[in-house]
Amino acid sequence: MGQVFVVNADDLEWLKPPKGEFEVPSDSPNVEYKILSSPNGPVPGAQLSRFEPGHVTNLHSHPTSEVLYVLDGEVSIGDVRAVPGTMVFIEKETVYGPVVAGPTGAMFLRVEIG
């Protein structure tokens, strides 16, 4: 028998990145996120991320593949401009970036695969 996993993002608090891991300098535009599901749990890891206008995340990679789905605003990932409704797949260990939030910021869903 399969399972159904349900979480409502409205029930979760916005979190700041932990120190030492994707730390945002105090003089930079802010980043917040909500953990919808843990990557070590029974379902794929998922988070809702919100970048203030002008936030920049430098080149980086992840040990898992990921899907980003833009919900609001816009974000540039390298040469790709992603607006609401855009899905971006990034294979594990792929170095990408910079990730730059647009003039109104950006909100996107990030799902880890694998």
Look at the alpha carbons of 68, 60, 9, 111 in this order and tell me if their dihedral is positive or negative: positive
- CATH number, domain containing residue 68: 2.60.120.10
- Would you say the pTM of this structure is higher than 0.75? yes
**pLDDT of 40-80, one tens digit each?**
888 899 999 999 999 998 899 999 999 999 999 999 999 99
Q: How far, CA to CA in Å, does 73 sit from each of 20, 35, 55, 77, 84?
A: 27, 20, 12, 13, 7
Query: Domain range for residue 104?
Result: 24-113
The per-residue pLDDT for range 25-38, each reduced to its tens digit, is 666 788 999 999 98
Within-domain flag for 10: no
Question: What distances in angstroms separate CA 96 from CA 57, 64, 78, 80, 91, one per listed residue?
Answer: 10, 13, 7, 11, 10
The answer to whether position 8 is within a domain reads: no
Task: Give the CA diameter of the chain.
Answer: 50
What pLDDT is recorded for position 42? 83
Look at residue 92 and tell me if it is in a domain. Answer: yes
| Mean pLDDT in residue range 80-107 | 96
* DSSP assigned state of 9: G
Number of structural domains (the chain) is 1
